[in-house]
Amino acid sequence: QVQLQESGPGLVKPSQTLSLTCTVSGASITTSDSYWTWIRQPPGKGPEWMGAISNRGSTFYSPSLKSRTSISRDTSKNQFALQLSSVTPEDTAVYYCASYPRLSTRAQRGPDDYWGQGTQVTVSS
């Protein structure tokens, strides 16, 4: 059973960088034929696909967030991470990490996905 768990600060100040980590168990981020994905859902809005990293380390970003987003991985810890720079209150959201069976920009859950429980991040001074 693949399990994912998000971790990171729940409160970030405006203009700072949001940093989250996703710890994966039950699968290897380097050998599983999966795309390790970040999605967020602001309050009262629909989910938004942010980006993904492949098992080979290739990265893919939403065009609207690309200039502020970086996805990386720590293969020794079987983790992948999200950094979002220059945050504003509009970046307040529940952030999810997920495993997708293929590269996709959809933000809705698919039948073959594995998702973390999500973590609330609030941007406020």
Chain segment 59-80, per-residue pLDDT in tens: 999 999 999 999 999 999 999 9
Sheet holding 69-74, edge to edge: 3-7, 18-25, 79-84, 69-74
The answer to whether the CB of 78 falls within 8 A of the CB of 99 is no
> What pLDDT is recorded for position 66?
96
**pLDDT single digits (tens) 24-33:** 999 999 999 9
For residue 5, list its beta bridge partners: 23
Q: Return d(Cα 15, Cα 35) in angstroms, integer.
A: 29
**pLDDT single digits (tens) 95-104:** 999 999 999 9
Task: Assign 42 a pLDDT band (cuts: 50, 70, 90).
Answer: very high
Q: Which of 89, 61, 50, 54 is nearest to 75 (CA)?
A: 54
Task: Assign 18 a pLDDT band (cuts: 50, 70, 90).
Answer: very high
Mean pLDDT of the chain: 97
Q: Return d(Cα 60, Cα 57) in angstroms, integer.
A: 10
The 8-class DSSP code of residue 112 comes to T
> What pLDDT is recorded for position 19?
98
